[in-house]
């Protein structure tokens, strides 16, 4: 039988070579079988996935994010121990709300970019640059309590000044006064922290300089500010 005889079947030419050639399995039949199996597997997975989703326990729906603004929002600020109801916009910084909404102008706005420290207040007892903090971030809203804010107006107790305020006057630790409130808040935070730890007597010159590292005094009253803080610490340690 000649190789070119048209009566000769060509199916044998597609048979797989090697050990499986005797089984009569061709490449065509192999692809047909494997393709059909893959399709069947894909069809079987669809109802299985749907049944699993249908039988899965209901998960609690994620509550939608609270949308604030763009207009003014009623919120509460806890300032110097007193809750204050304030209408504020999401863009309002804590410094502007304290000054413009609550009239607490002891907090100064110098550079308005966190570089001079004149706007320093305490938030939860820690010195914080109020010009860089949004008021809503520390305000009380439905489901959230306000954080405690202390300004220079709340540093003393009534008419009694804080030991740092008294020392600043005695040591002439101010000139134009613009940086003074921020300096007081930074130094008083150091004082109060050391007092709580029983370490007032150990406050050093370096500790004071580190505490006011973010506060700029254009008048150059740094030596008197350091002396005033050390004097207050020494007096408080007795």
pLDDT value of residue 38: 58
Classify 143 in phi/psi space as left (phi over 0), alpha (psi -120 to 50) or beta. left
Cα separation, 200 vs 163, in Å, equals 12
Do residues 183 and 215 lie in contact, with contact meaning Cβ atoms separated by under 8 Å?
yes
Question: Hey, what are 143's tokens?
Answer: 């489901």
CA distances from 92 to 18, 136, 215, 233 (A): 80, 8, 23, 36
pTM, to two decimals: 0.71
pLDDT value of residue 158: 87
Do residues 94 and 130 lie in contact, with contact meaning Cβ atoms separated by under 8 Å?
yes
Protein fold of 73-154? Ubiquitin-like (UB roll) (3.10.20)
CATH code that applies to domain 155-238: 1.10.150.120
pLDDT value of residue 238: 77
Cα separation, 126 vs 147, in Å, equals 11
> pLDDT digit string (tens) for 101-141?
999 999 999 999 999 999 999 999 999 999 999 999 999 99
What are the strands of the beta sheet with 120-123, ordered from one edge? 82-88, 73-79, 148-150, 120-123, 126-129
84 pLDDT more than 70: yes
Q: What are phi and psi of 100, to 5 degrees?
A: -85, -30
User: By mean pLDDT, which of 37-51, 78-92, 161-175 is the weakest?
Assistant: 37-51
Q: Within the chain, which residue ranges are assigned CATH 1.10.150.120?
A: 155-238
Helix spans in the chain (H): 27-55, 94-96, 163-170, 180-196, 205-211, 222-236
pLDDT value of residue 46: 47
Cα separation, 155 vs 185, in Å, equals 8
pLDDT value of residue 23: 54
- CA dihedral 67→73→77→83, nearest 10 degrees, is -120
Q: Within the chain, which residue ranges are assigned CATH 3.10.20.30?
A: 73-154
pLDDT value of residue 8: 47
Among 80, 83, 88, 170, which Cα is nearest to 133's?
88
Average pLDDT over residues 67-84: 90
> pLDDT digit string (tens) for 207-218?
999 999 999 999
Do residues 107 and 91 lie in contact, with contact meaning Cβ atoms separated by under 8 Å?
no
Cα separation, 215 vs 168, in Å, equals 15
């Amino acid at each position: 039988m000649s190789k070119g005889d048209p009566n000769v079947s060509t199916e044998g030419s597609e048979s797989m070579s090697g050990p499986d050639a005797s089984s009569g399995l061709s490449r065509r039949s192999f692809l047909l079988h494997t393709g059909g199996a893959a399709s069947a597997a894909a069809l079987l997975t669809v109802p299985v996935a749907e049944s699993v989703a249908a039988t899965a326990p209901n998960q609690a729906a994620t509550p939608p994010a609270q949308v604030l603004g763009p207009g003014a929002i009623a919120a509460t600020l806890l300032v110097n121990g007193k809750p204050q109801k304030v209408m504020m916009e999401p863009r309002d910084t804590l410094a502007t709300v304290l000054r413009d909404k609550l009239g607490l102008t002891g907090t100064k706005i110098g550079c308005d970019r966190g570089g001079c420290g004149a706007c320093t207040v305490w938030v939860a007892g820690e010195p914080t640059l109020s010009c860089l903090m949004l008021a809503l971030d520390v305000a009380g809203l439905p489901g959230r309590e306000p954080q405690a804010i202390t300004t220079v107006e709340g540093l003393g107790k009534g008419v009694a000044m804080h030991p740092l305020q008294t020392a600043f006057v005695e040591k002439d630790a101010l000139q134009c006064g613009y940086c003074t409130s921020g300096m007081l808040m930074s130094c008083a935070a150091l004082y109060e922290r050391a007092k709580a730890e029983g370490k007032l007597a150990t406050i050093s010159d370096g500790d004071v300089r580190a505490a006011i590292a973010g506060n700029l005094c254009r008048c150059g009253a740094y030596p008197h500010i350091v002396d005033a803080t050390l004097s207050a610490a020494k007096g408080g340690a007795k």
